[in-house]
A = this chain, B = another copy of it.
Amino acid sequence: MKLITRNTDYALRALCYISKHKTVVTVDELVEKLGVPHSFMRKILQQLNKKEILSSFKGQGGGFKLKIPPARIYVIGIMRIFQGQIELSSCFLKKDVCPNKGKCALRKKLRLIEKNMFMRLKRITIASLV
């Protein structure tokens, strides 16, 4: 089981690379430098653009650049874009609301671990990686 998927991983690498360049970066350039499939890289950058982490520029001379400073791009945020809400502690007993909730020892302990993990993940930014 992987906690970080390929698209998250590639997104992080791309963001690191882009953050080191003042000028716009094209998909072609990223594909060449990172060795990631072209279409896949493109889709990932488009998603980051929609989430307002990147700005895009169409046409000749176009490409992508960061829309927000690298110190404000958190790994946990990128994970959530590509992997959805991450949770240790959802209850599978009974469909809707668990009657045992609040009393459940497992959930309590897992929630603590989860909180700690999120806190640590929040401290990793693109700025801290380059």
The distance in angstroms between the C-alpha atoms of A117 and B5, with both chains bound, is 18
Say how far A113's CB is from chain B's closest CB, in angstroms: 5
Output the nearest chain B residue to A10 by Cβ-Cβ distance.
B92
Taking CB atoms and an 8 Å cut-off, the chain A residues in 86-111 that contact chain B are 86-94, 105-106, 109-110
| Other-chain residue from B6, B35, B83, B106 in contact with A124 (beta carbon distance below 8 A) | B106
The distance in angstroms between the C-alpha atoms of A93 and B109, with both chains bound, is 34
Chain A residues within 8 Å of chain B by Cβ, number: 40
Q: Helix, strand, loop or mixed for chain A's interface?
A: helix
State whether the Cβ of A66 lies closer than 8 Å to any Cβ in chain B: no
Say how far A10's CB is from chain B's closest CB, in angstroms: 7
Binary flags per residue of A106-122, CB closer than 8 Å to B gives 1, else 0: 10011011101100110
State whether the Cβ of A2 lies closer than 8 Å to any Cβ in chain B: yes
Give chain B residues whose Cβ lies under 8 Å from the Cβ of A129. Answer: 105-106, 109
29 example contacts (A-B, Cβ-Cβ < 8 A) are as follows A1-B79, A1-B83, A1-B84, A1-B85, A1-B87, A2-B90, A3-B3, A3-B86, A3-B88, A4-B88, A4-B90, A4-B110, A6-B92, A9-B92, A9-B93, A10-B92, A13-B93, A34-B93, A35-B93, A35-B94, A105-B128, A106-B124, A106-B129, A109-B128, A109-B129, A110-B124, A113-B120, A116-B117, A117-B117
